[in-house]
Amino acid sequence: MYTQQDLELLREKGISQDQIDTQLDYFSTGFPYLSIVAAASVERGVLKIGEEEEKVYLDAWQDFLNSGKKVTKFVPASGAASRMFKDLFAFLEADYEEPSTPFEKEFFDRIQQFAFFGPLDETCKNLFEKDVATLCKEGRYKDVVSSLLSPGGMDYGNMPKGLLLFHKYPEGNRTPVGEHLTEGTFYAKNRAEEVNVHFTVSPEHKEMFELLVAARKLNYEFKLGATFSVSYSIQKPATDTIAVDMNNEPFRNEDGSLLFRPGGHGALIENLNDIDSDVIFIKNIDNVVPDRLKENEAHYKRLLAGILVAMQKRTHNYLNRLESGEATRDELAEMLAFTEKELLISHSGQFASNEELKKYLKRKLDRPFRVCGMVKNEGEPGGGPFIVVNADGTASPQILESSQIDKNDPAAMEAFRNSSHFNPVDVVCGVKCNQGNKYNLTKFVDRNTGFISYKSKNGKELKALELPGLWNGAMSNWNTIFVEVPVSTFNPVKTVNDLLRPEHQ
């Protein structure tokens, strides 16, 4: 089945034949849908923290920062910005010359409000010897868009989001990279005034990130009174997945070689696993705000982190008692109540003996911990918090995407439609055990929670395999707590015109 060329490619990527065979099996059998017990809500599964509790958790986080433990901000930043500009690319291809759609009209009506307007104006002058206003007056709108998106201009159509100018400041406009560094000082600065930030980037963009940070780092450190340790990683080639044709046979390129595709953000569990840290914040590259709004966001980051360290401390104390062999019957009952009432892990049946109960508690407590901010649904439901049945028959909090839900199951679809919260990717992770050793995060992935998507290459249809998502199946076997946070903490930039929203001005 595999040619010599295939085997050489597998060796180059670090992928085994067994991995490929397993992936091919998934294309044939599909992935099982998850069984939903209920959508998580404030009544069941989503914590709503009062003011008095807030202070306790905020103090707990400050104590943790002062303790000398290591904290890292982990920012997935490998995505290209091309999807941000899909409407402008469509305008370039359109058979009309002037803005016609509401999106196009808003872009040009408010073009001077974008943080990248100054460089765009200069680019237009260099390319056409005319500024943006003159080109627009002459009806040359497409020349302006081309100046912004094309390789001969600013090349924003091919750049990563992290390197685009998002926000205006008197001292110089700022990219998402700069915003993440700044934001880190609000909640991840330790007692030595150090901030650790890690970006996952595409190989072709890594040097661009390094050059930007090198150029700005000293200024940020001087202004913010912090020392930044910035690191980078790329998605590992070994996490690429094979593509197949519509008959589930390996898809081959025109030269006969196997086609591999990136396995999606779930592949980043490998990158996360390489981070040597006690606590790791995860936040997407485009969910940033200007400085005037950062304190509000940071308040809730500190709150989530405080809940994490407080709950993990209790968990570690329970594990120490279990490992001592001296836990009393009352203590075991307390631990079981903790898993049921606070970690929301439900189980069926009774435990035949204390030894069986101890093994169960050890299995459920001795694993990574995450606290996830959840925002109230104010529009169409998307990925969000649910209580889900696990492979071992227990049920626990999980983050689901629509692709993981059986569309033919009326009860599951009803729960999905009625979900009260969605997932803004606002996660704080505790990744060390009670002995202080780092967990191997790859051991806690539910491999059966990937999904299959349909794509095309050179005009031919293909199927692609997405690995279990980073905050979905890749963290299925973590302890999970959901906490309600306000929608004001969620300000993603999915299209270029999102930068015109008040939160980004």
Query: At 381, is the pLDDT very low, low, confident or very high (cuts 50, 70, 90)?
Result: low
Query: At 415, is the pLDDT very low, low, confident or very high (cuts 50, 70, 90)?
Result: confident
Q: Give the Cα separation of 111 and 500 in Å (integer).
A: 9
What is the per-residue pLDDT for 161?
A: 96
Q: Is-contact 395 345, C-beta < 8 A?
A: yes
In 82-175, which ranges are continuous DSSP H helix? 86-93, 102-109, 117-128, 132-137, 141-149
Degrees (nearest 5) of the Cα angle 27, 30, 33?
Answer: 155
Q: Give the Cα separation of 281 and 272 in Å (integer).
A: 10
Q: Which pLDDT tens digit goes with each residue over 173-229?
A: 999 999 999 999 999 999 999 999 999 999 999 999 999 999 999 999 999 999 999
At residue 478, the 3 state secondary structure works out as: coil
What is the per-residue pLDDT for 254?
A: 86
Q: Is-contact 361 336, C-beta < 8 A?
A: yes
Query: Taking all residues of the chain, what is their mean pLDDT, rounded to a whole number?
Result: 93
Q: Give the Cα separation of 94 and 84 in Å (integer).
A: 18
The yes-or-no verdict on residue 42 having pLDDT over 60 is yes
Query: At 370, is the pLDDT very low, low, confident or very high (cuts 50, 70, 90)?
Result: very high
Q: Which amino acid type is present at position 206?
A: K
The yes-or-no verdict on residue 296 having pLDDT over 80 is yes
What is the per-residue pLDDT for 299?
A: 97
Query: At 380, is the pLDDT very low, low, confident or very high (cuts 50, 70, 90)?
Result: low
- Of 153-162, 232-241, 367-376, 398-407, the poorest mean pLDDT is in 398-407
Q: What is the mean pLDDT of residues 388-397?
A: 92
Q: Is-contact 401 449, C-beta < 8 A?
A: no
Which of the given ranges, 11-15, 27-31, 425-429, has the highest pLDDT on average? 425-429
What is the per-residue pLDDT for 357?
A: 95
Q: Give the Cα separation of 388 and 402 in Å (integer).
A: 14
Which of the given ranges, 239-253, 277-291, 383-397, has the highest pLDDT on average? 277-291
Q: What is the mean pLDDT of residues 3-7?
A: 81
Query: At 3, is the pLDDT very low, low, confident or very high (cuts 50, 70, 90)?
Result: confident
The yes-or-no verdict on residue 365 having pLDDT over 80 is yes
Q: What is the mean pLDDT of residues 319-335?
A: 95
- Of 104-113, 347-356, 393-402, the poorest mean pLDDT is in 347-356
Q: How many CB atoms lie within 10 A of CB 70?
A: 15
Q: What is the mean pLDDT of residues 355-367?
A: 96
What is the per-residue pLDDT for 349?
A: 78
Chain Cα centroid distance, residue 499: 20
264: left (phi over 0), alpha (psi -120 to 50) or beta: left
Query: At 459, is the pLDDT very low, low, confident or very high (cuts 50, 70, 90)?
Result: confident
The yes-or-no verdict on residue 429 having pLDDT over 60 is yes
What is the per-residue pLDDT for 379?
A: 66
The yes-or-no verdict on residue 166 having pLDDT over 80 is yes
Q: Which residue has the tokens 């201009």?
A: 153
Q: Is-contact 100 84, C-beta < 8 A?
A: no
Q: Is-contact 70 188, C-beta < 8 A?
A: no
Tally of residues, the chain: 505
176-187 and 206-224 helices cross at what angle (nearest 10)? 40
What is the per-residue pLDDT for 407?
A: 84
- Of 5-19, 256-270, 288-302, 475-489, the poorest mean pLDDT is in 5-19
Pairing of strands 279-283, 71-76: parallel
Q: What is the mean pLDDT of residues 316-344?
A: 95
Query: At 382, is the pLDDT very low, low, confident or very high (cuts 50, 70, 90)?
Result: low
Q: How many CB atoms lie within 10 A of CB 74?
A: 24
Give me the percent of the chain exceeding a pLDDT of 90: 79
86-93 and 102-109 helices cross at what angle (nearest 10)? 100
What is the per-residue pLDDT for 434?
A: 97
Residues 6+ apart with CB under 8 A from 137: none
The yes-or-no verdict on residue 1 having pLDDT over 80 is no
In 230-382, which ranges are continuous DSSP H helix? 269-273, 294-324, 329-337, 354-365
At residue 44, the 3 state secondary structure works out as: strand
- Of 23-32, 86-95, 362-371, the poorest mean pLDDT is in 23-32
Residue closest to 54 by CA, chosen among 306, 281, 297, 280: 306
